[in-house]
Amino acid sequence: MRCVRLLFAVLLLAPLSLPLAAPPAAAREVVAMTGGSPGQIIVRTGERKLYFILGNGRAIRYPVGVGRVGMQWSGRSFVQGMYIRPAWSPPAAVRRDNPHLPDYIPGGAPNNPMGAAALTLNGGEYAIHGTNRPGSIGGFVSYGCIRMHNRDILDLFNRVHVGTPVLVTR
């Protein structure tokens, strides 16, 4: 009987603990979308959302982390490279702010900020990539790269190819 009461108390109180947890960033979803071409990526930094255009007025919308104030950019680009578990070397601006970082972090390492995959953009300065900090998704958090949940970058990775057009707007 004591076990039954304990189980009942756990089941009764479990829903009360849910609001105490931080709400996760909204999951990817198919939404209505006008504009863009099928197969194009559109990032709206002000919304902190990335859209993959499906066509017929639909897109997959993903939550993302974007550039901090002063580190945001807008413009047209395209996917120049595609990498699973990429290694990472901190760019000069990141190294200036974080001199303790190693020169090189191997792919798959828990401290590698690129996460599960990366789509490098033309010019090589920015990428759309996973993250080792999922709580940063939905914020203004990066040096200009677009961060995604690892499961989302893997989903997007399988939908795009080198040459996929990318439009970043504010």
Q: Which amino acid is residue 30, in one-letter code?
A: V
Task: Label residues 73-101 b or e (16+ Cβ within 10 Å = b).
Answer: eeeebbbbebbeebebebeeeeeeeeeee
CA angle 119, 154, 53 (to 5 degrees): 75
Catalytic residue among 3, 100, 129, 161, which? 129
The one catalytic residue among 3, 100, 145, 161: 145
- Extract the tokens encoding 18: 């849910």
Let me know if 50 is exposed, middle or buried by CB neighbors in 10 A (0-12, 13-18, 19+).
Answer: buried
| Residue 129: active-site member | yes
**Both tokens of residue 109?**
């390492």
Determine the 3-state secondary structure of 157 from DSSP: helix
Q: List active site positions.
A: 129, 145
